[in-house]
Amino acid sequence: MDNPRSTARIAGHPVHPMTVMFPIVLFILVWVADLMFWHRHDLIWATLGMLALALGILLALLAAVFGLIDYLGDARIRALPAANHHLVANLIVLTIQIANFIWRMNGGPGFLIPTGLILSTLAVLLLGYSGWKGGTLVYRHGVGVDSGAEHSQRR
């Protein structure tokens, strides 16, 4: 039996895994910039964090589109608890980061500590959980893995 298929593909390759790395790195950068701002009180870190946060949100929305296409495209994916946990965790991360962005826009760097740092820390922790569940989808359930590709390359 075939593995659950990724619906959003380019030349047979799932798009969602190709797009998630960018918001993950940017959201981790927000957290690092927040820690540096807390430690040094240098506005460059607050500015870097805000730019990374804005770009991270935009790219997370793009990755979410491809993730939703995959989720809605195969009922076998929707039936997996790990897929539901992955989806909900990512929606929570996105909500936290949007709230984080609004908080910073309204309050400026003075509002970054402690609230912005707490929000970015929560987002990074939830990203770890979501990544664990995403790994479960691929490595345990074979979501998006082309089971026939390995056999055809050996010939």
pLDDT tens digits, one per residue of 71-89: 999 999 999 999 999 999 9
CA distances from 90 to 18, 20, 155 (A): 16, 10, 40
Which structure tokens are listed for 43?
A: 């506005």
What is the pLDDT averaged over residues 53-59? 98
DSSP conformational letter for 144:
T
Question: 48 or 154, which is more confident?
Answer: 48
For residues 132 and 149, give the distance between their C-alpha atoms in angstroms, rounded to a whole number.
25
Task: Give yes or no for residue 155 having a pLDDT over 50.
Answer: no
Q: DSSP assignment of 27-66, as one string?
A: HHHHHHHHHHHHHH--HHHHHHHHHHHHHHHHHHHHHHHH
Mean pLDDT across the chain: 93
Question: 143 or 152, which is more confident?
Answer: 143
**Domain residue spans of the chain:** 9-144
Q: Model confidence at 147, in pLDDT bands (50, 70, 90)?
A: confident
